C-alpha cells in the first residue's frame, strides 16, 4: 500500500531517543502495517531497525557537517519501494489509524494527489504504553486536552511514488524544503489535500524547537531558501487546493486563490497583468525574477 520513510536524529540523547521510539513504534502498529524504511547512519538507527523489523538504508548523501540532503533521501527511498504511495515523515510524529483512513479515502477519490496536514504539539517524556489496546484513544484525549495546534510547517507528506523524482539538494531540517514540496504539487496541477480535519498527527515537543531562531539564521537555511526560490517559499498549508474530513474530499481552491492574492499583494506585485496573475494562482512564479 505505502512506504513510509524518515531520517532520524541520533538516539543518544535520552529524550530524543524516547520520542523517536514512540513515533516509529506507532508507525509499526498501523493496520495494515506500511513498509517502513529509516535512512541514514545516525547512532541508534540500525538498532531500532533491528528491534522493530524495519528496513534500513545507510550511506545517505550529506553536507560536510553530516547533515542529510533531502534529494538523496527521497531518491533512495523511492528507488527501493514496491508500493504505489510514499510518505516522508519527521521521526517525532506519532500516527494513528485515522492516517490510513484518509489515505484509503483519497485512493478511492483519485489516483494522484499529495496529502499534508497540521500537527498537535504535546509534551511526552516517557515511552508510551503501546501494550494498552486503548492507547490511541488515550493519546487522542491527551492531545485534545493538553495539545497545542500548529498549522505552520509540514511534518509529513504523502505522494505517488516517483512524483518527487527530482528536487534541489535541500539540507534536511533547515527550512524552505517543505514550502517547495507544497509549491511543486500545485505547480504540477496535482491536488494538494489538507488532511488536518481527519488526521491527528501528534508531534512530541523537544528542545530543537527552542533553537529554531538560530536554525533559520544558519548558512544551511539560507542556502535552502536560495534553492527554493522566492515564489515557492511563499507556499504554506493554507495553499491546499482540497481538504479531507470524515472521508469526504472537498475543494478549497477559493481559499488557495485568496492566499495567493494576499501573497502577491504582500510582495508588491499586485499590478501584475492578467496572464501573470493566472500563472501565479496556479503555482507558477508570476515573474521569472521571483524564482531562482
Per DSSP, the three-state class of 69 is: strand
CATH number of the structural domain 2-248: 3.90.550.10
Q: How far apart are CA 20 and CA 95, in angstroms?
A: 12
Q: How far apart are CA 180 and CA 168, in angstroms?
A: 9
pLDDT grade for 213, boundaries at 50, 70 and 90? confident
Determine the average pLDDT of the residues in 75-98.
Answer: 97
pLDDT tens digit string along 36-72? 999 999 999 999 999 999 999 998 999 988 899 999 9
pLDDT grade for 280, boundaries at 50, 70 and 90? low
**How high is the pLDDT of residue 164?**
96
Determine the average pLDDT of the residues in 100-108.
Answer: 97
Angle at 55 between CA 51 and CA 61, to 5 degrees: 120
Closest CA to 204 of 122, 99, 90: 122
Q: How far apart are CA 140 and CA 227, in angstroms?
A: 38
**How high is the pLDDT of residue 14?**
87
Could you give the strand order of the β-sheet that contains 119-122, starting from the edge strand earlier in sequence? 93-94, 201-204, 119-122, 148-150
Task: With a cut of 50, say whether residue 155 has pLDDT above it.
Answer: yes
Would you say 31 and 63 are in contact if contact means Cβ atoms under 8 Å apart? no
Would you say 239 and 247 are in contact if contact means Cβ atoms under 8 Å apart? no
**How high is the pLDDT of residue 217?**
85
Task: With a cut of 80, say whether residue 121 has pLDDT above it.
Answer: yes
Q: Identify the residue with better confidence: 215 or 188.
A: 188
pLDDT grade for 242, boundaries at 50, 70 and 90? very high
Task: With a cut of 80, say whether residue 119 has pLDDT above it.
Answer: yes
Residue 175 DSSP one-character state: S
- Supply φ then ψ for residue 133, to 5 degrees: -60, -15
Q: Which three cell numbers stand for residue 135?
A: 492507547
Alpha-carbon torsion, ordered 55, 179, 259, 93, to 10 deg: 40
Q: How far apart are CA 153 and CA 228, in angstroms?
A: 15
Domain residue extents for the chain: 2-248, 253-290
**How high is the pLDDT of residue 274?**
47
Amino acid at each position: 500500500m505505502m512506504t513510509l520513510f524518515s531520517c532520524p536524529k541520533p538516539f543518544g540523547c535520552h529524550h530524543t531517543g524516547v520520542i523517536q521510539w514512540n513515533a516509529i513504534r506507532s508507525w509499526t502498529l498501523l493496520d495494515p502495517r506500511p513498509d517502513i524504511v529509516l535512512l541514514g547512519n545516525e547512532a541508534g538507527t540500525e538498532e531500532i531497525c533491528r528491534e522493530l523489523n524495519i528496513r534500513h538504508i545507510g550511506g545517505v548523501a550529506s553536507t560536510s557537517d553530516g547533515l542529510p540532503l533531502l534529494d538523496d533521501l527521497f531518491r533512495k527511498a523511492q528507488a527501493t519501494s514496491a508500493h504505489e504511495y510514499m510518505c516522508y515523515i519527521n521521526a517525532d510524529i506519532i500516527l494513528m489509524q485515522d492516517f490510513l483512513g484518509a489515505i484509503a479515502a483519497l485512493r478511492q477519490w483519485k489516483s494522484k494527489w499529495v496529502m499534508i496536514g497540521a500537527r498537535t504539539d504535546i509534551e511526552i517524556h516517557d515511552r508510551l504504553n503501546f501494550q494498552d489496546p486503548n492507547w490511541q484513544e488515550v493519546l487522542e484525549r491527551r492531545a485534545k486536552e493538553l495539545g497545542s495546534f500548529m498549522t505552520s510547517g509540514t511534518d509529513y507528506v504523502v505522494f505517488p511514488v516517483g512524483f518527487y523524482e527530482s528536487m534541489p539538494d535541500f539540507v534536511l531540517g533547515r527550512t524552505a524544503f517543505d514550502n517547495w514540496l507544497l509549491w511543486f504539487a500545485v505547480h504540477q496541477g496535482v491536488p494538494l489535500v489538507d488532511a488536518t480535519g481527519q488526521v491527528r498527527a501528534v508531534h512530541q515537543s523537544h528542545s530543537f524547537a527552542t533553537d529554531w531562531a538560530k536554525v533559520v539564521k544558519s548558512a544551511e537555511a539560507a542556502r535552502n531558501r536560495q534553492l527554493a526560490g522566492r515564489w515557492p517559499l511563499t507556499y504554506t498549508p493554507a495553499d491546499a487546493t482540497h481538504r479531507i474530513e470524515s472521508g469526504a474530499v472537498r475543494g478549497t481552491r477559493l481559499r488557495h486563490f485568496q492566499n495567493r492574492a494576499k501573497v502577491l499583494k504582500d510582495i508588491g506585485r499586485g499590478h501584475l497583468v492578467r496572464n501573470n496573475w493566472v500563472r501565479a494562482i496556479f503555482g507558477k512564479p508570476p515573474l521569472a525574477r521571483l524564482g531562482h
